[in-house]
C-alpha cells in the first residue's frame, strides 16, 4: 500500500501530453471539439461518482443535484462579471457544501435505502430549481456567448479536469481513506470495530465526489453556454453516471474512464439516430454486462494489457 507516488504524477503529465498531441485531431471541427468536451466531462463525473459508489459501495442516483449546483454557481457568477475560470473553485466548493449537507444524513443509510434517499434529494432539488426566479426559473440561464472561451481553452480545461479526477481517484484508492472505504463497503460493522469512523469516512469522500461533480457542472455551463434545471438537475444525468461506471468497472480507477468512453460512443454513434432510446439500449447493455461480466470492462482490459505486455515487453 504505497501512497500516492511520483509515478502517478508522471502518468498524469504523460496523459496530458498525449491529450495535447492529439488535440489538433479533436479540434478539427466544432463537432469533434464537442465530443472531446463531453468525454472529459463524463470522465470527471464517472470518476467522481465511483469514489463513493465504487470504493464506499454507496450507490447514488442523485449526483445531478451536485452537477446542477456547480452549473448554476458558475453561470450566475459568470453573468455577474467574474471570469469563468475563477468561478470553478466556487462551483466545486458550493457543490461540496451541498453534498455534505444532504450526504451527512443520507449516508447513515446503506445500500438500497441510501440509493432511494438520493433520488428523493435530487428530484426535490430539481423541482425547487425550477421555481427559483432569480436563477431563471424553468427557462434557465443563457451565458454570454460573446465571452466564449473558444475550443482550445475549453479542451485544455477539460483535459486538466479529467486527468485530475483520475489522479484523485488513484490517490484515494491508495490512501488510508480508500482502505477505510473498502473496509466499510465490505463490512461496515467489522470496519467500525477495527476503528474506522464509518460516518466520517463516507462524508469525507462524498465531499470530494461532490466537489468534482460540481466542477463538471461548471465546465458544462462554460462549454454549452446555456443551462436549464431539467437538464442539469435531471434524473437522466444521474442514471447515466451509474451506467458508465457499472459498464466500465465499478471500484476501479480506470473503469469510470472506460465507461465514460463507451457511453459517449454508444450515445453519439450507435444510437444517435434513435434519439432518446439510447438509455433503454444502455439499460439492456447493463443487464448483459451484469450477467456476463459483473465487474465491468476494466478487469478484462487490464488482463488484455498484461497479455500484450508479456508478448511484446
Partner 1 sequence: MSGPAAVSALVEARGVVKRFGGLTAVHRLDLTLWDGEILGLIGPNGAGKTTLFNLLSGQFAPDSGEILLEGREIQRLPSHRICRLGLARTFQVPRPFLALTVSESVLVGAQFGGRVAGTSASETADRCIALTRLEPRRSAPVHSLNLAERKRLDLARALATRPRVLLVDEVAAGLNPTEVRETVGILREVHASGIGIIYVEHVMEAVMDISDRVHVLDHGATIAIGTPGEVTRDPAVIEAYLGRSAGS
Cell of 31: 463537432
CA 260 – CA 234 distance, rounded (Å): 18
Contact 45, 102 (CB under 8 A): no
Q: Which of 77, 101, 102, 103 lies closest to 88, judged by CA?
A: 77
Q: How far apart are CA 172 and CA 8, in angstroms?
A: 12
How distant, in Å, are the alpha carbons of 89, 193, 201, 206, 281 from that of 104?
22, 21, 11, 9, 34
Q: Which stretch binds partner 1 (CB under 8 A): 136-144, 183-191, 203-211, 281-289?
A: 183-191
Give me the helices (H) in 139-234, please: 151-173, 176-186, 188-193, 198-224, 229-232
C-alpha cell at 221: 455551463
Q: Closer CB to partner 1, residue 178 or residue 234? A: 178
Q: Which stretch binds partner 1 (CB under 8 A): 7-15, 133-141, 163-171, 191-199?
A: 191-199
Choice between 73 and 203, CB closer to partner 1: 203
Q: Which of 183, 237, 253, 298 forms a contact with partner 1 (CB under 8 A)?
A: 183
d(CA 192, CA 284): 38
Q: Are 232 and 72 in contact (CB under 8 A)?
A: yes
Among residues 29, 32, 142, 194, the one that binds partner 1 under rule CB under 8 A? 194
Q: How far is the CB of 182 from partner 1 (least distance, A)?
A: 6
Is residue 79 near partner 1 by the rule CB under 8 A?
A: no
For residue 143, what are the CA distances in angstroms to 74, 161, 171, 229, 305? 10, 21, 35, 14, 44
Q: Which three cell numbers stand for residue 126?
A: 430539481
Q: What is the largest CA-CA distance in the chain?
A: 62
Among 29, 147, 197, 303, binds partner 1 (CB under 8 A): 197
The one among 140, 251, 255, 296 contacting partner 1 by CB under 8 A: 251
Query: Of 35, 164, 182, 302, which one interacts with partner 1 (CB under 8 A)?
Result: 182
* Strands (DSSP E) found in the chain: 141-142, 226-227
Interface stretch with partner 1, choices 107-115, 136-144, 192-200, 261-269 (CB under 8 A): 192-200
Under the binding rule (CB under 8 A), the answer on residue 176 touching partner 1 is yes
Give the shortest CB-191-to-partner 1 separation in angstroms. Answer: 7
Rule CB under 8 A: say whether 296 interacts with partner 1: no
Q: Is 103 in the site for partner 1 (CB under 8 A)?
A: no
How far apart are CB 294 and partner 1 at their closest, in Å? 13
Task: Rank residues 38 and 181 by Cβ distance to partner 1 and give the closer one.
Answer: 181
Query: Among residues 158 and 251, whose Cβ is nearest to partner 1?
Result: 251
Q: Shortest Cβ distance from residue 285 to partner 1 (Å)?
A: 25
Residue 179 touching partner 1 (CB under 8 A): yes
Which residues contribute to the site for partner 1 (CB under 8 A)? 1, 176, 179-180, 182-183, 185-187, 189-198, 251
Amino acid at each position: 500500500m504505497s501512497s500516492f507516488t511520483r509515478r502517478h504524477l508522471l502518468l498524469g503529465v504523460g496523459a496530458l501530453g498525449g491529450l495535447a498531441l492529439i488535440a489538433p485531431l479533436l479540434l478539427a471541427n466544432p463537432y469533434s471539439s464537442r465530443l472531446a468536451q463531453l468525454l472529459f466531462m463524463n470522465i470527471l463525473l464517472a470518476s467522481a461518482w465511483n469514489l463513493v459508489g465504487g470504493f464506499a459501495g454507496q450507490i447514488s442516483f442523485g449526483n445531478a443535484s451536485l452537477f446542477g449546483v456547480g452549473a448554476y454557481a458558475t453561470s450566475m457568477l459568470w453573468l455577474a462579471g467574474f471570469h469563468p475560470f475563477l468561478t470553478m473553485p466556487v462551483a466545486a466548493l458550493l457543490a461540496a457544501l451541498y453534498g455534505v449537507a444532504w450526504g451527512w444524513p443520507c449516508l447513515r443509510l446503506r445500500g438500497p435505502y441510501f440509493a432511494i434517499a438520493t433520488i428523493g434529494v435530487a428530484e426535490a432539488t430539481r423541482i425547487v430549481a425550477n421555481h427559483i426566479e432569480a436563477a431563471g426559473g424553468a427557462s434557465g440561464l443563457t451565458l454570454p456567448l460573446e465571452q466564449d472561451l473558444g475550443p482550445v481553452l475549453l479542451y485544455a480545461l477539460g483535459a486538466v479536469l479529467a486527468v485530475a479526477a483520475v489522479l484523485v481517484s488513484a490517490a484515494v484508492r491508495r490512501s488510508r481513506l480508500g482502505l477505510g472505504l473498502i473496509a466499510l463497503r465490505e463490512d461496515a460493522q467489522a470496519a467500525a470495530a477495527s476503528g474506522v469512523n464509518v460516518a466520517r469516512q463516507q462524508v469525507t469522500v462524498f465531499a470530494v465526489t461532490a466537489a468534482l461533480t460540481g466542477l463538471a457542472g461548471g465546465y458544462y455551463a462554460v462549454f454549452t453556454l446555456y443551462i436549464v434545471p431539467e437538464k442539469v438537475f435531471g434524473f437522466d444525468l444521474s442514471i447515466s453516471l451509474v451506467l458508465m461506471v457499472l459498464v466500465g468497472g465499478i471500484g476501479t480507477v480506470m473503469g469510470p474512464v472506460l465507461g465514460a468512453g463507451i457511453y459517449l460512443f454508444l450515445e453519439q454513434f450507435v444510437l444517435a439516430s434513435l434519439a432518446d432510446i439510447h438509455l433503454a439500449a444502455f439499460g439492456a447493455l447493463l443487464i448483459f454486462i451484469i450477467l456476463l461480466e459483473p465487474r465491468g470492462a476494466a478487469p478484462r482490459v487490464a488482463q488484455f494489457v498484461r497479455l500484450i505486455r508479456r508478448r511484446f515487453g
